[in-house]
């Protein structure tokens, strides 16, 4: 322990300027991330709710009366006694997998198209990036208007060809397809831009050598393009999975209360626990820690799988 302290002091004395530059970032992260995370972990071991959390009203302070309950909240969630965790987890995984697969495949196709010599390529790039520039809540409300059963654009187009209106946000199955479509529209530009950068970093000599060896376009794609994109793909798929798993605004703003709770993902249900009804802060915090744990396990497993694949080559 004393050796560690000596090394830390020596490092600070030698690199004090670097420490000074990093300190504001550390303070901001501690305030914006560290404290809320620590508070959430603490509340997850209690029975805190709106009635016993404690508050200050003017000059009058109501003391907190919630108690420590240990792992009861986690047992309540993971044991299935609640009855809603595993169905929501299944839908959250299906939602995440569907969106990430669509993000990557469509983004890859568009990136391959834009990587070719194409007239007006710059214009196409700007138009395809626009969905990414639109704030998520603006896009959610715009799509919700287009999904409107009576006055929406989609049902108006269906009426033109004699098809009956579709209840886009009322039927549980259709509303799930609807939010996947919205999130795909929002997420494809990021994948496209990242993959396009990866494509442009692949040496042209590899394609020329493969072509000289008689490789077909599919063989060049499979043996040159995809391996060359592996470093970029592994990162964006991981980021896309984490972002989509926690994609609160699309589910909450597009569906709202139209379809009950069947289309809620874990993060929207955690929000509802904390800010609607009885306001179960402890239950919401427990859901948040469970979500964090699931993503940490997935990230570790995913990175380990990639390392094993690299070591096997």
Three-class HEC string of 267-293: HHHHHHHHHCCCCCHHHHHHHHHHHHH
11 shares its domain with 112: no
**If pLDDT is split at 50, 70 and 90, which confidence band does 54 have?**
confident
Residue 40 and residue 182 in one domain: no
Among the three residues 62, 93, 109, which one is the final residue of a domain in this structure? Answer: 62
DSSP 8-state secondary structure symbol assigned to residue 134: S
The reply to whether 35 and 184 lie within a common domain is no
- Lowest-pLDDT choice from 17-31, 48-62, 91-105: 48-62
**Tokens (6 digits) for 279:** 């306001």
Same domain, 132 and 8: no
Flag whether 295 is in a domain.
Answer: no
| Tens of pLDDT, residues 242-283 | 999 999 989 988 887 655 567 889 999 999 888 887 789 999
Q: How does pLDDT run across 144-196, given as a tens digit for each residue?
A: 999 988 888 999 999 889 888 888 888 888 889 999 999 999 999 999 999 99
- What six digits make up the tokens of 213? 């060896």
**Residue 93: pLDDT above 90?**
yes
Under the banding of pLDDT at 50, 70 and 90, the label for residue 299 is very high
Task: Answer whether residue 304 is part of any domain.
Answer: no
- Give yes or no: residues 131 and 166 share one domain: yes
Q: Which two tokens stand for residue 18?
A: 């670097």
Q: Which of 52-56, 147-151, 229-233 has the lowest mean pLDDT?
A: 52-56
Q: Are residues 249 and 110 in the same domain?
A: yes
- Domain enclosing residue 49, as ranges: 2-62
Q: Which of 13, 253, 229 is nearest to 140 (CA)?
A: 253
Residues 38 and 102 in one domain: no
Alpha carbon dihedral 240, 241, 246, 249, in 10-degree steps, equals 40
The count of other CB atoms within 10 Å of the CB of residue 164 is 8
> Is residue 75 in a domain?
no
Instruction: Please determine, for residue 101, whether its predicted confidence score (pLDDT) is greater than 90.
Output: yes
Lowest-confidence segment of 40-49, 58-67, 211-220 by average pLDDT? 58-67
What is the arithmetic mean of pLDDT over 293-305?
92
Helix axes 121-133, 172-200, angle to 10 degrees: 130
User: Whole-angstrom Cα distance, residue 189 to residue 133?
Assistant: 9
Which CATH number fits the domain that encloses residue 177? 1.10.3720.10
Residue 259, pLDDT score: 53
User: Regarding predicted confidence, which is higher, 17 or 195?
Assistant: 195
- My answer on whether 53 and 145 are in the same domain is no
Whether 196 and 251 share a structural domain? yes
Please check whether residue 178 lies inside any domain of the structure: yes
């Amino acid at each position: 322990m004393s050796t560690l302290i000596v090394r830390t002091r020596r490092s600070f004395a030698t690199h004090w300027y670097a420490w000074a530059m990093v300190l504001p970032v550390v303070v901001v992260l501690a305030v914006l991330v560290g404290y809320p995370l620590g508070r959430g972990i603490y509340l997850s071991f209690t029975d805190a709710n709106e009635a016993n959390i404690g508050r200050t009203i003017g000059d009058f302070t109501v003391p907190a009366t919630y108690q420590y309950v240990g792992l009861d909240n986690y047992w309540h969630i993971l044991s299935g006694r609640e009855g809603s965790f595993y169905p929501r987890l299944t839908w959250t995984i299906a939602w995440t997998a569907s969106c990430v697969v669509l993000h990557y495949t469509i983004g890859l196709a568009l990136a391959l198209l834009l990587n070719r010599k194409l007239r007006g390529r710059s214009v196409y790039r700007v138009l395809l990036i626009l969905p990414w520039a639109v704030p998520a809540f603006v896009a959610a409300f715009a799509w919700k208007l287009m999904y409107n059963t009576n006055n929406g654009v989609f049902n108006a187009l269906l009426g033109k060809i004699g098809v009956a209106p579709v209840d886009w946000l009322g039927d549980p199955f259709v509303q799930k397809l609807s939010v996947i479509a919205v999130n795909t529209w929002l997420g494809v530009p990021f994948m496209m831009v990242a993959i396009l950068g990866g494509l442009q970093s692949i040496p042209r000599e590899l394609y020329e050598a493969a072509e000289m060896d008689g490789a077909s376009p599919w063989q060049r794609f499979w043996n040159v393009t995809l391996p060359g994109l592996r470093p970029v793909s592994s990162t964006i798929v991981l980021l896309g999975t984490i972002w989509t798993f926690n994609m609160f605004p699309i589910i909450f703003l597009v569906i709202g209360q139209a379809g009950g709770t069947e289309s809620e993902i874990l993060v929207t249900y955690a929000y509802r626990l904390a800010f609607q009804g009885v306001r179960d802060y402890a239950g919401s915090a427990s859901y948040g820690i469970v979500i964090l744990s699931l993503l940490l396990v997935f990230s570790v497993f995913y990175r380990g799988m990639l390392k094993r694949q690299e070591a096997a080559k």
